[in-house]
Structure formats: structure tokens, C-alpha cells
Amino acid sequence: MWYAIRGHDAPDALALRRVARASHIDRLEALRDAGRLMVAGPLPAIDSAEPGPAGFVGSLVIAQFASLEEARTWALADPYAVQGAWSHADVDPFVPVLP
């Protein structure tokens, strides 16, 4: 099943994101290479693809996992969570309808 993972950034998380970014991207690429990633990306704090020092409010990952528990475990092990860039993550089942 597909799951939507919404990582919520901790206050002043921009520096922590930079430290963990390469490892975070590696995990996303592993999902992509396994055919299990629908979409992933940051959520800018302002209406700009390059928010600069405003940073981000979090991240969105929609990926396929065997269970809700597996998706939650994956989210908790993400480098953004481990490094403290994410204060917490919401994980919900997701049913794609369109496109």
C-alpha cells in the first residue's frame, strides 16, 4: 500500500537538514530504485522553490510499504528524524486516484 509521510521540521532545522541531506536522499533513491517511491520533496516555509534562510516547514514522501508499521519505522529512521531536523512525522495510508 502507499503511505504519505509528512515530516514536520523542528524550529531552526535548516542546518540540521544540510547535515542529513545526502543520507536522506540516498534513502529516497533506494525507494525509487525499488519502484516504491511516488514523490518526495521539501515543503518551503515561503512561496518559493528556493526559500533561502526561511527554510522549510517539513517534507512530504509518498512511498509504498508492506504495512503502516513499516512506513512508520522507515520515517523514524530517516536521517532528518535521527538528526532532529524533523520534530515528528505523520504517516497515513494513501490511495492514489489521479492522474
**pLDDT (tens digit per residue) in 48-93:** 999 999 999 999 999 999 999 999 999 999 999 999 999 999 999 9
Local structure of residue 87 (DSSP, 8 states): E
pLDDT digits (tens, 9 = 90+) for 19-56: 999 999 999 999 999 999 999 999 999 999 999 999 99
Q: Is residue 99 part of a domain?
A: no
Q: What are phi and psi of 55, to 5 degrees?
A: 70, -145
Q: How many domains does the chain have?
A: 1
Identify each DSSP E strand in the chain by its residue range.
Answer: 2-9, 37-44, 56-64, 86-94
Sheet holding 86-94, edge to edge: 37-44, 56-64, 2-9, 86-94
Provide the CATH number for the domain around residue 13. Answer: 3.30.70.1060
The domain in which residue 24 lies consists of: 2-94
60 within a domain of the structure (yes/no): yes
Confidence of residue 99 (pLDDT cuts 50, 70, 90): confident
Cα dist. 89→34, 39, 70, 97 in Å?
A: 23, 16, 14, 23
